Amino acid sequence: MALEDAKTEVDSAFTRKGLRGYAFENAFGGATSFLRRTYTKDLTGVDLAITGVPFDQAVTHRTGTRFGPRAIREASSLQPYDPPHGWPTNPLEDMAVIDYGDLAFDYAKTADFPETLTAHIRTILAAGAGTVTLGGDHYITFPILKAYAEKFGPLGVIHFDAHSDLWPDDDLTRIDHGTMMYKAVKQGYVDPRRSVQIGIRTTTEDYLGVNVITSREAHEWGVERVVATAKDIVGDAPTYVTFDIDALDPAFAPGTGTPVWGGLASWQAAAMLRDLAGINMVGGDIVEVSPPYDTTGATAIAGAHVAYELICLYHWARTQR
């Protein structure tokens, strides 16, 4: 850590010069953009935009994920001092990464939300940048995938979750975080043959052709086999990575709406994300962090680490493949 910089830097989300490099202000002070990136709506020259979607009106059980983006940003203040551990590259130095802020939407007009979010992501993609989105409940991935599919065609998806989100629901006016993947497959945004779900430990009658690695299989196979299988499934095609924090066991991430025992440990998730380096990742998200159910902040910390790993995967896909 640059101690001299720490004495003078503050609110670097607004005061920093340029869009690259680390930040050294005190972790406990200042404006909490993600990784102290510059808050801006200017997408000129931007490689990757971090954006928040504080939406939780699609949950089936406990609300609170609307506070997820804010908590993840705060937790990330511990991370922007050094290169990401375990990676041989420095995405914060090599890429122009910004905090694009949160999606603006009318909370009382839920029916308008999906297209509002799709347009938000569409704007970023049209500028030539990618996105890592901080949720919010898992429904948000469906409108995001729509924008990505418009640009890239049907996507491969690597989906970390306790739940498949493939429960049948052909009513597009229903906004439900448990059916977002079903809708994405049915709408042609996702190619199920090139998609894999990791950590599943709830029952689904029909996976619609999506490949599944259950939580027990992940434990028994080990990281190396899980990652090799996932890479083989998605291949070199454009791939979106969505990480529901309840993929982790509640012991590691209690702050979520629908916790299920038997999940991944933090070290397993970290190793899997790092070893996925080489996939053609075009975007990703971290969802279902619900701070009210975790007074320790551990879940938000895990969410911040996942988001940083997604940044690393995005960077690797553009520099090392």
Compute CA distances 266 → 11, 70, 135, 198, 299, whole Å.
30, 21, 19, 14, 10
> Could you write out the three-class secondary structure of the chain?
CCHHHHHHCCCHHHHCCCCCCCCCCCCCCCCCCHHHCEECCCCCCCCEEEEEECCCCCCCCCCCHHHHHHHHHHHHHHCCCCCCCCCCCCHHHHCCEEEEEECCCCCCCHHHHHHHHHHHHHHHHHCCCEEEEEECCHHHHHHHHHHHHHHHCCEEEEEECCCCCCCCCCCCCCCCCCCHHHHHHHCCCECHHHCEEEEECCCCCCCCCCEEEEHHHHHHHCHHHHHHHHHHHHCCCCEEEEEEHHHECCCCCCCCCCCCCCCECHHHHHHHHHHCECECEEEEEEECCCHHHCCCCHHHHHHHHHHHHHHHHHHHHHHCC
Which bin fits 80, alpha (ψ -120 to 50), beta or left (φ > 0)? alpha
Binding residues for Mn(2+): 138, 161, 163, 165, 244, 246
Question: CA-to-CA distance for 294 and 246, rounded, in angstroms?
Answer: 13
Structure tokens that stand for 119 in this block: 């347009």
Binding residues: 138, 161, 163, 165, 244, 246
